[in-house]
Amino acid sequence: MWLAALVYFFCHLGISAGGGGDTSEEITTSTIDFALNATSTTESVAQPYFDNATKRDYTAAVGQPAYLHCRVKNLGDRAVSWIRKRDLHILTVGVHTYSSDARFAALHTDNSDEWTLRVAPAQPRDSGSYECQVSTEPKISLSFRLTVVVSKAEILSGPELFVRAGSDINLTCIARHAPDPPSFIYWYRGSNVVNYAQRGGISVETEQRTRTSRLLIARASPRDSGNYTCAPSSSDSASVVVHVVSGERPAAMQSDSQRLSPIPLLILLSIRSQLKSFLTSIMLYILLMSQHTSTNYLKYIRFLWNNYCIRRFVTR
Ligand SMILES: *[C@@H]1O[C@H](CO)[C@@H](O)[C@H](O)[C@H]1NC(C)=O
Ligand SMILES: *[C@@H]1O[C@H](CO)[C@@H](O)[C@H](O)[C@H]1NC(C)=O
Ligand SMILES: *[C@@H]1O[C@H](CO)[C@@H](O)[C@H](O)[C@H]1NC(C)=O
Ligand SMILES: *[C@@H]1O[C@H](CO)[C@@H](O)[C@H](O)[C@H]1NC(C)=O
């Protein structure tokens, strides 16, 4: 390499100094020839080595493809293999898959120094160490670590949300443990993508850095009730059942709270521990629930009843 650089240097010096004479032309070509020979000689003698800037710790989401990139310089005619350390299983040699597990494949483009192991789809059991090996004498190898994580989205307001009609539905979804920021996050209501055109006042803000998406539906009406699902590109989805409560009448519903999750609702109700309000509440709830064929309401009534009993008999 040294020699080559030096020769090139002198060669360029020769061109700029020598003008266009016949002799200098001859010298130049022969030095270039020599330079090329020198380069190729250096290359065939040099041993392969790993690019030390190589990233060796990878995280992938379960169900998604995982890639381990191994970069080898001066490979020459040697082969690059991928070995699973756990059982010393040879996964790939060159671009051929040796494993019977078809999820493993070697990716390589001609004239590149990159030999990539692809595991698709990645499973949690694929977590562990892998080795990129070059068939020199003696062998050289570089160790890689793969961690396959289960990424699950989470909607902050929990599995169920009660919202008073006229106020906003504000849903925040986070793609937790996602190895990479999701390239997109979709929102569904039932099985349909939330449709901005169908109804005004819908906005979605997705922030890749924090892996967060916020769905805001202004002035909710009972028709906005439903099962809302947040589906990030690289995580399992999460759902929340939203009940929009058209509670104009009963005092219990006239809270300033934007959303009424079941527990605050109970507390509100139990403040008035009189039988009358209790019965009103039950009727209200049955009314509400008749819109959604939910089996939850029996549980809810039992809950209310227990609450009433506690208020009535225990706290005195
Ligand atoms: C470079 O190598 C070629 C054959 O590989 C040979 O013909 C040529 O003379 C060599 N040039 C020099 C400068 O050594
Ligand atoms: C590259 O890594 C190998 C071991 O993996 C080490 O022996 C070598 O010194 C490193 N080279 C540089 C330039 O850091
Ligand atoms: C929606 O809720 C989040 C927190 O849960 C809050 O930071 C945000 O300001 C709310 N947005 C609106 C428009 O109410
Ligand atoms: C809500 O929708 C999701 C996705 O379609 C489904 O997996 C989930 O069971 C539904 N939840 C309810 C309570 O219906």
CA 197 to chain centre: 28
Structure tokens of 266?
């109970």
Dump pLDDT digits (tens) for 259-292. 444 554 544 545 544 556 666 666 666 555 655 5
> What topology does CATH give the domain 151-246?
Immunoglobulin-like (2.60.40)
pLDDT band at 254 (very low <50, low <70, confident <90, very high): very low
Dump pLDDT digits (tens) for 204-235. 999 988 999 999 999 999 999 999 999 998 78
Residue nearest to atom 9 of ligand 3 (CA): 170
Task: State yes or no: pLDDT of 164 exceeds 70.
Answer: yes
Task: State yes or no: pLDDT of 119 exceeds 70.
Answer: yes
Extract the runs of DSSP E, i.e. beta strands, from the chain: 49-50, 57-61, 66-73, 80-84, 89-93, 96-97, 104-107, 114-119, 128-134, 140-149, 152-155, 160-164, 169-176, 185-189, 192-193, 202-207, 212-217, 226-232, 238-245
pLDDT value, residue 2: 52
pLDDT band at 61 (very low <50, low <70, confident <90, very high): confident
> What topology does CATH give the domain 49-149?
Immunoglobulin-like (2.60.40)
Q: Is the CB of 195 under 6 A from ligand 1?
A: no
Contact 60, 145 (CB under 8 A): no
Task: State yes or no: pLDDT of 41 exceeds 60.
Answer: no
* Annotated domain spans of the chain: 2-45, 49-149, 151-246, 251-316
- Say which ligand is closest to the CA of 143: 2
Residue nearest to atom 14 of ligand 3 (CA): 170
Q: Three-class SS of residue 227? A: strand
CA 69 to chain centre: 19
Residue 61: CB atoms within 10 Å = 25
Contact 235, 176 (CB under 8 A): yes
Q: Three-class SS of residue 273? A: coil
Q: Do domains 49-149 and 151-246 have the same CATH topology?
A: yes
Best of 194, 229, 243 for a ligand 4 pocket test (most atoms within 8 Å of beta carbon): 229
Q: Residue 227 forms beta bridges with which residues? A: 241
Task: State yes or no: pLDDT of 253 exceeds 70.
Answer: no
Residue 313: C-alpha distances to residues 248, 272, 273 (Å): 31, 14, 11
| Ligand 4 atom at minimal distance to the Cα of residue 237 | 4
Which one is predicted more confidently, 130 or 303? Answer: 130
pLDDT value, residue 260: 46
Q: Three-class SS of residue 69? A: strand
Q: pTM of the predicted model, to two decimals?
A: 0.50
Q: Is the CB of 203 under 6 A from ligand 1?
A: no
Q: CA angle 234-149-208, nearest 5°? A: 35
